[in-house]
Every structure is written in structure tokens, then in C-alpha cells.
Amino acid sequence: MLSTKTHRHLLSLDELTASEIRQLLATAIALKGHRLQLAQGQVLGLLFTKPSTRTRVSFEVAMAQLGGQSMFLSAEAMQLSRGESLTHTARVLGRYLSVIAMRTHAQQDVDLVAAESGIPVINALTERFHPMQVLADLLTVQCAKGQLERLTYAYLGDGNNMANTWVLAQAILGLELRVATPPGFAPHPAVLSRPQVVSHPPQLYTDPLAAIDGADVVITDTWVSMGMEEEADERARLFAPYQVNAALMSHADSDAMFLHCLPAHVGEEVTEDVIEGPHSAVWEEAENRLHVQKAWLATVLGGA
């Protein structure tokens, strides 16, 4: 069983141990398809300052399947838009809600809400980390391959929040991860310098062919995250060699699986024949957001 702590947060993946990650994945599998009343009378607040499809819907469905309720809280519809501080907002929300999932730009904002609200806070995406997505990715690999170990993982593209979180995952679980990015776009130095990562570092490349060679799992993400639109043309030029296309996938293992957290810009970081092809597991990956989030909500609300 996952250890439960008062007001336990999930702000970054390295707040979990390897055994807790494995237990969370087992709980997610056990809860698939089940509707429970573990969260009856409890309310999840979705505090979002970024657009969302998968994150919002999967959290709302997860909470409904646990017997609880959700409340969508866009910053534009709250007093935050009129200058109320995030500190004051967090203190008030903590007196109404049972748990908060926050999707925003700055990691420091999620950390602040966790410090001030007095209730469990989940990082549903920041510019630095995306822990729930990588947990869903791990669940997808576990279900497809029957294991997480003895596999080679290749991440190609931008060293963004997904890359940072995969770096933490490989260090915690002892996986083999190769990350290929253009020069200057590697995962964040503060992530690479964390003690766990220093003890078990990823293999960093600038050559996508070296990273994908024989890989069992191939991962990519958009080259232009929200807020980077002005860099789109330059990024398209720099990242073009990292496009996951049929030619690049041919260097991976013949049974390799392809992951993308979505939304995908088809024709940029991935081609249609890959994302719609036999290697693709992106739709199962998207579904698994629901299952891992339901497992974590069940844990922090005291039912798992």
C-alpha cells in the first residue's frame, strides 16, 4: 500500500519512491473500470491557468468514478484575474476543497499553493515537471511490455517538462534512458544535478540516431510549448532532425512502442504514419491518465 501522509502532495515525481511508483501503477490497474465511493462528499478543485483537454477531463472523470465531485477553477473567472494574490487564493480554497490539481506555468506557483492551502496539491503540469503524465506513460509501458526494467527508453526532442520528469523517473526506478536534444536544449541543469539523477544519470545525446538505436520505447513531445509561439520557426529548424518518422523509427527495436503526451503537431515532431501506425500507444497512454490519477486521488483521499 502507498504510504499516506496528511496533506501529501505530488509536486514532482521524486517525491515518490520506486516502491510507491510501482504500487501506484498496481493500484491504477486494480481500479480500472471500477466505480467506488472512496471520495463521497469530497471535492477536487482544478486550478488551471493553461488550456486543457486530457488533464481536465481525466481528473473530472477520475473523481466522479471515486464518488466525489470536481470544480473547474480558471484563473480568468476568479479574483486572481483582478489582482488577488495566489497566497490568499490558496488559503481560501483550502478551506473549501479536499484536494487541488493545478495546471500552470511556474513550478513555484504550485509549490506556493501546496505550502499555503493546507490540503493535498497535485502538479497537473508546470513548465518544469509533468508527473501525472509520466506516471501514465509508465503504466502504458507496464501494461504493454509486462515490465519497466530491461528496456531502453529514448526521448527525442525538447528537454522540457516531459524530459525533466522522465529523467527523474529513470533515476528513481533505475531505468536506461537516452535523451537526444539539439545543443542547448538538454533537460534542466537543476534536474540533472539532483542527487538521485547524479547517482543514476540519463545518457545525453545530440544525435537522435544514437539515442533511438535499438530502443524499446520511443518518446517525444511538441517542440513548441505554450508560451513559446514566437520561437516556432527557429525551433522547427533546430528540431527537424529529431522528428519521429518511419525512417527514424526503423532504428528502434522492431517491437518498439511510441509515446506522445499529446496534443501532437503531426508533421512536426511526429509523422502521421508513426502516430497512427502499429508502434503507437498514444491513445492507451491518454486513457491511462485517468487510471493513474484515480489511483493517486484514492490514495490522498484515504481510500487506497
Give the pLDDT confidence of 27-58 residue by residue, as tens digits: 999 999 899 999 999 999 999 999 999 999 99
Average confidence (pLDDT) over 80-98:
96
Distance between CA 123 and CA 107 in Å, rounded? 8
Domains contained in the chain, CATH given? 13-129+286-300 (3.40.50.1370), 132-285 (3.40.50.1370)
Task: Identify whether 261 is a catalytic site residue.
Answer: yes
**Which one of 137, 158, 221, 253 is the catalytic residue?**
221
**Which one of 133, 170, 243, 293 is the catalytic residue?**
133
Task: Identify whether 103 is a catalytic site residue.
Answer: yes
Instruction: Give yes or no for residue 290 having a pLDDT over 60.
Output: yes
Joined together, the cell numbers standing for residue 172 give 528513481
**Which one of 261, 279, 291, 293 is the catalytic residue?**
261
Using one digit for the tens of pLDDT, what is the confidence trace for 212-248? Answer: 999 999 999 999 876 667 788 899 999 999 999 999 9
Using one digit for the tens of pLDDT, what is the confidence trace for 196-215? Answer: 999 999 999 999 999 999 99
Task: Identify whether 237 is a catalytic site residue.
Answer: no
Task: Identify whether 279 is a catalytic site residue.
Answer: no
The radius of gyration of the chain from alpha carbons, rounded to an integer in Å, stands at 19
**Which one of 103, 128, 279, 291 is the catalytic residue?**
103
**Which one of 54, 56, 130, 279 is the catalytic residue?**
130
**Which one of 235, 260, 289, 291 is the catalytic residue?**
289
Q: In this structure, are residues 182 and 242 in contact, taking their beta carbons and an 8 Å threshold?
A: yes
Task: Identify whether 221 is a catalytic site residue.
Answer: yes
Distance between CA 170 and CA 201 in Å, rounded? 8
The predicted pLDDT at position 5 comes to 43
**pTM (global) more than 0.85:** yes
Distance between CA 228 and CA 185 in Å, rounded? 14
Q: List all residues 6 or more positions away from 279 whose beta carbon is below 8 Å from its beta carbon.
A: 218, 249, 252, 256, 257, 258
Half-sphere exposure of 99 (CA within 13 A, CB side): 31
Judged by average pLDDT, the poorest of 32-41, 139-148, 270-279 is 32-41
Task: Identify whether 56 is a catalytic site residue.
Answer: no
